[in-house]
Structure 1
Amino acid sequence: MSDTTRIRIDLFAPTMPFRRFWRSTGFSPAELLLEPEMRQTLAYVGGVPNRGIEYMRVHYMLDLVTASSFGQYDWSRLDAAIDVMLEHRIRPFFELMGNPSYIYSDFNDVGQAHHWRDFMSEMAQRYQARYGADELRAWYFETWNEPDIWWKLGGETGFNNYYDACSEALKAVDPQLKLGGPGVARRIPPIFKSFLAHCDTGTNLFTGETGVRLDFISVHEKGAKKHAEDLTPNSLSIIRHEMMAVDYIREHHPRFAGLPFVNDECDPQIGWHLYHTWHGMPYFAGLAAKIVDQHQRLMIDGEGVDYEVLSNDNGFVGHWGHRTHLTYFGKRPVRAAQAEHKTDIAALEARRAEPEPFDLVKKPALSVMELLGLLSERRFDLGGQGLDPDRAGLGAIATALGRGEKPSGASVLLYNSVDRIWQSGESTVALDFSGLQPGAYALASFRIAHGKGDPFTVWEDLGAPDLPNAAELAAMRMAQEPVLSIEHLQIGGAKAEHELKLDMPLPSVALVALVRRDDNAPAAPSTPRISRFGGLNGENRVLFWEPAPYEGIQLFDVLGSAGESGPWQVINPVGLLSSVYLDSSVGAGFYRIRARDLFGRISAESGSVRAD
C-alpha cells in the first residue's frame, strides 16, 4: 500500500499573485485557419474556461497576403484568418513570418527593407482600424519563426534589417505594440547572439540610433530530440536549457536581463509529424501540468525570471499520436508542418471549395488545459510540505477561490508524472483544507487518468476504427471529458478543517475545487452561435457561446428543441467545462445554453439560436 502525502491548504494563509503564463498554443501553416478542420479546432480551443488558451502562434501568417507588386496587397485571406481567431476568443501571437506572393528576396537590399517597413505599417494600421487599438495592444508580435533554420532572406544582417523594419513600422502606428524575438530553435545560435547585440548596441537601419527596442526575448526548448522511437521527454532539461539562454542574456546583455522571457515552442519533443502514441493518452496531460509547475517553481520563484509566455505547438490537425489537442478522423492526408513549406493559394482555394468530411475528438492534451483554466490568479505557497515532484512525480498547484481579501475556497491542481513513459504506480494524497468558515460547501474533483477522461482507451477497445461510425464517436466523446465527482459538506464552527483523500495513479491529473456556497449563482451565457461541418456520418453542428463571468466553477448544459417554444431538453450527456459543444444528432431545430454551479443552481437560459 502506498504512503499518503499530505498537502495542507490553509484558506487563512497569505496568497501571492499567480500569472497564467501557459495560455498559448500554435501550429503551422496559417492556411489551415481558412479550412473547416481548424475552424472546429478553434472552437474547442477558444472555449477553454477563463480564456485558458488565449493566444495562438501560427507560422506563415503573411503568406495569406498576396501581392501584385511592392505596396499592392490583397489582405482578404489574412483578414478572414484573424477574424476566425478572434471570433473564438483567441488572439494572435503574431509571427511576422511569410512572404506575400514571394516577392521579397533579400533584406540586405535596403529598398526591400523599406518596402517591408511600409508593409508592416499598412498591416498594423489595417488591424488597428479593424479591431481597435486596445485589442491590438493585447497581441504579441514576434520575429520570423526559428530564424536559425528558416530565415532565407539575407543572413544575420538581413535579419537585423528586417527586425528594424518591423520595429519602426509598429512603433509609428502605436508605440505600445509589443515586439520581440527571435524564437530560435537551437541553443544560443549565432543569430541569437547577433540579434541581441544588434538590439543592444547595433545601429538601427532606419533611424541611425544605437540599439533597437526589444519587448521580450523568445527561444524554443523541447524535452526530447526528434526520433521515430518513443523517447521519454526530459522535462527538467527544458528548464536547464532555458536557463542557459537566461544566463547568456544576464552576462552579455544585462540591460535586457529583466525583459519578459518566452518559450513559445515548449513541446515534449522535436518533430510534430512524428507519431508517439502517448500524445493521445493521460501521460501527456500529466506531463503538461508538471512542465507548468516546474516553470513556476524553478524559473519564476527560484531564478526570478519574468516568465511571460509558455506556449506549445499543440494546435495542429492530426491523429492520436500527433502533438495535437484533438484527434482527427477523416480521409484527408495529414501533412507535416514546415518542411520548406510554401503556401499554394490555388490549392488552398480548391480544398475550401470541396471540403472533406471529418470528425474531431478531444484528447487529454486539451482537457488538462481546461483544468489549468480553473486555477485562479492568487496562489498559496506549498513550500515545506515535503513534495518532491521532480524526483517522485507527485506535484500540486493551489490557488484561492472567492471574492474579497480572504479566500472562501480553493482550486488545487494535482498531477502524478515522471519522466518515464511507461512507468506505472499510484500515490495517495490527503488534501487537508483548513480555515473553513461555517457554511455549505461543494467539494469537486475532475479526473484525467487511464479510463477517466481517456477517449484513446475507448477507441482502442472499439477496435481502433479509422473512420468511426456514429455510435463509436459518441462513445469516445462520452469519455473525452474529465470525470467529475461532487461531495456536499456542511461546515460548522470557525476555521474548521476537512480532509479529502485521492488516489493518484501514474500518470494522472486531478483538479480539486472547494467552493463555499454564496448568493451568487451563475448568470446566463450569451451569444450562442452555430457552425456546421460535414461529419463522417452526417452533419455536425458546433455550438459556441459566451460564458458570463463567474468567481466559482460553472458547468454548461446545451438544451435542444424542435421548436422555439419548446419543450427544451438537455442534450449533452455530461456537464461541460468549456463553452463549446458538438451535436451530431442534429435533431434540434433550436438551441439554448445554461450554466450551473457545483450546488446544482441553474442560471437563466441564453437566447435561442436557430439551427438553420
Structure 2
Amino acid sequence: MLSDDMNQNLALIGSVPHNGIKQIRIHYLLKLISAKLVSNEIQYNYTLLDKFLTRLRDYHLKPGFEIMGNPSNIYNDFENRTQVIQWKELVKELVTRYIEMFGSDYVKQWNFESWNEPSIEFKNHFKDNIKVTQKGFLNYYDASSLALQEVDNTLIFGGPGDHWPQDIKNGPFVIDLVKHFMNGSNYLSGKKGDIKLDFISLHEKGKKGQSSYTDASEDKALTDIEKEFQILKQIPFVDNEGDPEAGWNQNRTWRADNRYAATVVQVVARHIYQYNHTNKMSLFGFDHGFLSFYPFQFTQRTLLARCLKTYEIEYSRSGSNDSYKRINKNDIIYPSYQFTDLTETSSVSGFYRISAIDFWDRKSDFSDIFKWNMN
C-alpha cells in the first residue's frame, strides 16, 4: 500500500477530473498497525496507517474503511470475550485518533465496513491468525459497531460485503448477520438492537463480461429482503464490487479497449435509471484499483496500466561500481519479495541497488544504494 507504484496509482486516481472517483475501498488496512504487549496491555503503533490515510486525504480521496486485518497477529479468537473487548477498544482508539487528526467532517464521510467477504475469508473458521466461527464473526461485528457508536453514532457502518446466497436458508455469515441485526442483542452491551447496520453491502458481479448478471443477482437479493426480512427494506444497499466479471487479474482483451469504459458507463447509467428515485441504492462501485503486472498490463481489471516487467536487484559485497551482480534470476514485480540463488556460504551483508525494466525492456536508473549488515 505504501509502495511508490501505489502512491502513483492513487495520485492519478485522485486527479480524475470533477472528483470522478472519491472513495477507495481497501482490504486489510489494520495490517498497517503494529501491536505489542506491554505490562499485559496492548500498545499500537499507527505510523504506517497514518501515512497511508494522510496520503489519501492529500489526494482528495476518502477510504471505504474495512475494519479488517490483525495487527501483528495479536488476536487469535473472536469467541474470547477479553479479546472482543480489546478489539472494541482498538476500533474506538483508531476512530478517535483520525477524528482528531483529520476532523469529524471528513471522517463522517468514510464508509466503515465489516471484514470483506466473510463467507470466503472465514470458510474454514480461521483467517489471519484468528479463529472466526459464525458466532465469532457476530461478536467481532458487535464490538466494531459498539466502538463506532461510543465515538459518534452518526458514523457510517455496514456489511457484510459479500455475495448474497442463492439459498437464504444456507447463507453462513451473510444471513447470520442479517438475522442478528433483526433479532439479536449486542454481545458486549447485552442490549437488543444495539447493532449498527447503516447499509447492506453486496458483491454481485457479472459473468464472462456480461453485466446483466449483476442486475439479476441484485434483484434476487432485494426480492429476498422484501419477502423474508422486511425490516431491512428501509436500509440502503450498496454493491461495492459490481464488476462485469470476477477475477481482476484474468487476461481479457475487452478490458484493454473502449469496451471496458463503455461497460462501466452502461452499468452505472442503468443503476441510476433504476434506483435514482428510491433510497434502495446508495453506492455502486467497481473493484479495480489494482496494480497490473506483466504481461497483462492492459488486459487486467485495473483503472490504469502499470507497464512494469520486472525489477533487477543487484548486490555487491564491497560497494564498488564494477562489482554489482544481479541476484534475482526470475522476473519479479515486488522487490521486497524475491528469490535469489544464495547458498549456505553466500553473504547477505553488503550493498544493494534496484532498477526497473518496463514492457519495452527499457531500464531505469539505479535506485539509491542500500547498505545491509547482517549481525
Q: Give your verdict on TM over 0.5.
A: yes
Instruction: State the Cα deviation string for residues 492-517 of structure 1 (Å, max 9, x = none).
Output: xxxxxxxxxxxxxxxxxxxxxxxxxx
Say which SS state the counterpart of residue 238 (structure 1) adopts: helix
Instruction: Give 1:58's aligned amino acid.
Output: I
- Work out which of the residue numbers 177, 182, 187 in structure 2 matches 1:205: 187
Residue correspondence of structure 1 range 245-256 to structure 2 within 5 A: 245-256=221-232
Q: Distance in 2 between matches of 1:330 and 1:356?
A: 11
1:208: Cα distance to partner?
1.1
Q: Distance in 2 between matches of 1:116 and 1:355?
A: 40
Tell me, yes or no, if structure 1 residue 166 matches structure 2 residue 137.
Answer: no
Other-structure match for 1:61: 29
Tell me, yes or no, if structure 1 residue 283 matches structure 2 residue 176.
Answer: no
- Work out which of the residue numbers 13, 24, 49 in structure 2 matches 1:45: 13
CA 1:67–1:56: 2 relative to 1, 3 Å: same
Instruction: State the Cα deviation string for residues 429-456 of structure 1 (Å, max 9, x = none).
Output: xxxxxxxxxxxxxxxxxxxxxxxxxxxx
Other-structure match for 1:240: 216
Q: Distance in 1 between matches of 2:283 and 2:353?
A: 37
CA 1:289–1:195: 2 relative to 1, 3 Å: same
Other-structure match for 1:483: none
Decide which structure has the larger Cα Rg and report it: 1
Tell me, yes or no, if structure 1 residue 321 matches structure 2 residue 299.
Answer: yes
Residue correspondence of structure 1 range 307-456 to structure 2 within 5 A: 307-318=281-292, 319-332=297-310, 357=356
Say which SS state the counterpart of residue 120 (structure 1) adopts: helix
Tell me, yes or no, if structure 1 residue 467 matches structure 2 residue 360.
Answer: yes
Matched residue count: 311
- Choose between structure 1 and 2: higher helix proportion: 2
Tell me, yes or no, if structure 1 residue 140 matches structure 2 residue 111.
Answer: yes
Q: Distance in 2 between matches of 1:299 and 1:62?
A: 33
Instruction: Give 2:147's aligned amino acid.
Output: A
Instruction: Give 1:54's aligned amino acid.
Output: K
Tell me, yes or no, if structure 1 residue 265 matches structure 2 residue 158.
Answer: no
Other-structure match for 1:218: 201
Say which SS state the counterpart of residue 328 (structure 1) adopts: coil
1:246: Cα distance to partner?
1.5
Where in structure 1 are there 5+ consecutive unaligned residues? 1-31, 225-230, 334-343, 360-465, 470-535, 540-612
Q: Distance in 2 between matches of 1:354 and 1:305?
A: 55
Instruction: State the Cα deviation string for residues 124-145 of structure 1 (Å, max 9, x = none).
Output: 1111111011111011100000
1:149: Cα distance to partner?
0.4
Q: Contact conserved, 1:148 with 1:186, CA < 8 A, in 2?
A: no
Instruction: Give 1:148's aligned amino acid.
Output: S
Q: Distance in 1 between matches of 2:248 and 2:354?
A: 24
Other-structure match for 1:179: 157
1:326: Cα distance to partner?
0.9
Tell me, yes or no, if structure 1 residue 193 matches structure 2 residue 175.
Answer: yes
Tell me, yes or no, if structure 1 residue 102 matches structure 2 residue 73.
Answer: yes
1:190: Cα distance to partner?
2.5
Q: Contact conserved, 1:317 with 1:324, CA < 8 A, in 2?
A: yes
Instruction: State the Cα deviation string for residues 318-358 of structure 1 (Å, max 9, x = none).
Output: 0111111111112348xxxxxxxxxx9x869xxxx966547
1:305: Cα distance to partner?
4.9
1:253: Cα distance to partner?
2.4
Tell me, yes or no, if structure 1 residue 119 matches structure 2 residue 119.
Answer: no
Q: Distance in 1 between matches of 2:31 and 2:10?
A: 20
Instruction: Give 1:284's aligned amino acid.
Output: Y
Say which SS state the counterpart of residue 140 (structure 2) adopts: helix
Q: Contact conserved, 1:113 with 1:161, CA < 8 A, in 2?
A: yes
Q: Distance in 2 between matches of 1:85 and 1:299?
A: 29
Instruction: Out of 67-76 and 193-202, give the one that drifted further.
Output: 67-76
Q: Contact conserved, 2:25 with 2:64, CA < 8 A, in 1?
A: yes
Q: Contact conserved, 1:141 with 1:180, CA < 8 A, in 2?
A: yes
1:311: Cα distance to partner?
1.0
Other-structure match for 1:520: none
1:46: Cα distance to partner?
0.4
Other-structure match for 1:78: 49
Q: Distance in 2 between matches of 1:237 and 1:243?
A: 10
Say which SS state the counterpart of residue 173 (structure 2) adopts: helix
Q: Distance in 2 between matches of 1:467 and 1:110?
A: 56
1:234: Cα distance to partner?
2.0
1:43: Cα distance to partner?
1.2
Residue correspondence of structure 1 range 152-163 to structure 2 within 5 A: 152=126, 153-163=131-141
Q: Distance in 2 between matches of 1:316 and 1:354?
A: 26
User: Aligned-pair RMSD on alpha carbons?
Assistant: 2.2
The higher relative CO (CA closer than 8 Å, separation ≥ 6) is in 1
Instruction: State the Cα deviation string for residues 509-549 of structure 1 (Å, max 9, x = none).
Output: xxxxxxxxxxxxxxxxxxxxxxxxxxx5569xxxxxxxxxx
- Choose between structure 1 and 2: higher strand proportion: 1
1:84: Cα distance to partner?
1.1
CA 1:47–1:355: 2 relative to 1, 3 Å: farther
Where in structure 2 are there 5+ consecutive unaligned residues? 312-333, 339-351, 367-375
CA 1:42–1:354: 2 relative to 1, 3 Å: farther
Q: Distance in 2 between matches of 1:537 and 1:282?
A: 30
Q: Distance in 2 between matches of 1:137 and 1:276?
A: 38
Q: Contact conserved, 2:211 with 2:245, CA < 8 A, in 1?
A: no
1:71: Cα distance to partner?
2.1
TM-score of the aligned structures, taking structure 1 as reference length: 0.49
Other-structure match for 1:544: none
